[in-house]
Amino acid sequence: MSAVIMDGKKLAKQTKADIAARVKQSNKKLGLGTILVGTDPGSLAYVEGKHSDCAEVGINSIRVNLPVGASEQEIIKAVTDLNNNPECTGFIVQLPLPKSVDTEKILLAIDPKKDADGLNPVNLGNLVLSVNKIIPCTPRAILALLNEYKIKLSGSKVLIIGRGTTVGRPLSILLSQKPIDATITLAHSATTNLTDLIKEADVVIAAIGIAHFIKPNMVKPGATVVDVGITRVDNKLLGDVDPAVAQVAAFFTPTPGGVGPMTRAMLLSNLLELAK
């Protein structure tokens, strides 16, 4: 068996073409802001990609770069400035932030109406209530890929490995809601029977940041495997899933080229929602 590769690059290209057409038809001038603290290579590359996407679809971009030693007060001031900037339709604070910074405090400072990442507590609360269109970008990207490849979710056993605020927790809520109706198990560092859970799952979504953690013998033949985690090893980007899993799974997302490009595309989709 060789898995169908769920091509995030191809779907992102189609999504951005649709966004570009909608932007062109709109009378509104859209602007995406980014706040980057420090010089982490992965974060730098990701932010560069977001600004490149904006240029591609006709959205203005506003870049705020702060030094790695920036204080909470300095970061909150940058957030407040974008909250009040009429040229900024929405913005994101690139995560992770330095350990000395209270991330939740920073996210709370974002105006929910400009929260392009959907991570402000108000928007996360609305997600729980199923009344929010601003969904965190990576969960939205994963759902878009699963829908594109017509993966059966209703009643399926979906295992999400990782309970972080940006992926695992919001994704577990999103996939369990109507009309998606998946049966969700959320595993984490204290889960004792993880190998058994992986073997039983119809869909495995790995977001733990441990390179090639999931091996072919751990996955049920014919399962769908979505690789979200990224680890930089010898200047190469490796996912949580060993690429050999593609010989066992029915559907598989590559790293890079799977969830990442769609996450960036979903950020632009969220910006259009905020513009409404």
Task: Tell me the CA distances in angstroms from 2 to 141, 206, 228, 244, 251, one per residue in order.
Answer: 23, 20, 20, 10, 9
pLDDT at 133: 80
pLDDT at 1: 62
> In the predicted model, what is the mean pLDDT of residues 46-68?
95
Sequence-distant (6+) residues with CB within 8 A of 65 are 36
Lowest mean pLDDT across 55-59, 102-106, 130-134, 211-215: 130-134
Q: Which residue's structure tokens are 């057409």?
A: 21
> In the predicted model, what is the mean pLDDT of residues 56-68?
96
Using 50, 70 and 90 to split pLDDT, how confident is the model at 233? confident
Task: Tell me the CA distances in angstroms from 142 to 151, 160, 175, 246, one per residue in order.
Answer: 11, 11, 10, 17
Copy the structure tokens of residue 141. 């990207």
Tell me the fold of 136-259. Rossmann fold (3.40.50)
Give me the CATH code for the 27-111 domain, please: 3.40.50.10860
Same fold, 27-111 and 136-259: yes
What amino acid is encoded at 157 in this protein?
K
* Catalytic positions: 50, 94, 117
Domain map of the chain by residue range?
27-111, 136-259
CA distance 35 to 181: 35
pLDDT digits (tens, 9 = 90+) for 173-220: 999 999 999 999 999 999 999 999 999 999 999 999 999 999 999 999
